[in-house]
């Protein structure tokens, strides 16, 4: 049994779904452009630099979910998929996922982006398993808070181990483990798997990959 792990934003996607969700809400007039756009850009730059405070960001990202019904949010997300997400889903990424699925590998998208935004994207890629940051819900409606540990940096390892344990698996259950990512923020998990792969990596990850002999590929 083999495990194939995929980061989502700027790895499988040619862009960042977290950033684009906020931009989509701004463009739809749901969020005030003056108040939210600069902050959204600021958080995105902090993420790319590896200095993001995940809890501060999640407060910014999840609070708008709590101000609208799930029914309304789901309608918006359908438009978001059409306008923003599908254009970011390239053939190379689809083919990579298909290759692992055809080989019978256990395929998982593991992302810091919240699972409301990413679950439909995982389904679109045909990936059956998703580990994302989970928004807290009460009676199906979002509270604006986080449920459990964010799937970010070392938190990805914690969440992945819990996901394995739910299925009676450990790292030793897999003869091979591969993780595809673009980001320096994923260095903890990349160092944990047997086959780390840098995908269109940022400068820090590219340098690390070259120093350690990791494959560097492009899905663009």
Per annotation, catalytic residue among 9, 105, 182, 202: 9
Please enumerate in sequence order all residues whose Cβ is within 8 A of that of 1, keeping only pairs 6 or more positions apart, or say none: 106, 173, 174, 175
DSSP three-state, residue 16: coil
Euclidean distance between CA atoms 48 and 10, whole angstroms:
11
Active-site residue, 102 included: no
Report the run of H or E that residue 133 belongs to, with start and end: strand 129-138
Contact 146, 56 (CB under 8 A): no
Per annotation, catalytic residue among 7, 105, 134, 202: 7
Euclidean distance between CA atoms 62 and 68, whole angstroms:
11
DSSP three-state, residue 130: strand
Active-site residue, 91 included: no
Contact 41, 52 (CB under 8 A): no
Half-sphere exposure of 44 (CA within 13 A, CB side): 17
Euclidean distance between CA atoms 66 and 45, whole angstroms:
25
The catalytic residues are 7, 9
């Amino acid at each position: 049994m083999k495990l194939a792990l995929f980061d989502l934003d700027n790895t499988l996607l040619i862009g960042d779904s977290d950033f684009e969700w906020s931009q989509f809400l701004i463009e739809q007039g749901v969020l005030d452009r003056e108040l939210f756009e600069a902050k959204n850009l600021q958080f995105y730059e902090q993420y790319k630099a590896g200095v993001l405070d995940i809890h501060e960001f999640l407060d910014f990202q999840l609070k708008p979910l709590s101000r609208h019904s799930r029914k309304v949010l789901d309608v918006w997300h359908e438009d978001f998929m059409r306008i923003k997400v599908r254009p970011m889903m390239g053939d190379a990424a689809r083919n990579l996922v298909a290759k692992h699925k055809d080989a019978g590998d256990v395929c998982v998208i593991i992302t810091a982006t919240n699972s409301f935004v990413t679950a439909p994207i995982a389904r679109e890629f045909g990936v059956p398993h998703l580990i994302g940051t989970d928004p807290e819900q009460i009676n199906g409606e979002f509270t604006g808070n986080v449920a459990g540990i964010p799937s970010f940096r070392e938190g990805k390892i914690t969440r992945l181990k819990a996901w394995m344990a739910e299925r009676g698996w450990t790292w030793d259950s897999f003869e091979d483990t591969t993780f595809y990512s673009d980001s320096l923020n994923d260095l903890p998990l990349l160092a944990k798997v047997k086959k780390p792969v840098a995908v269109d990596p940022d400068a820090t990850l590219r340098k690390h990959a070259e120093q350690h002999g990791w494959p560097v590929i492009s899905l663009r």
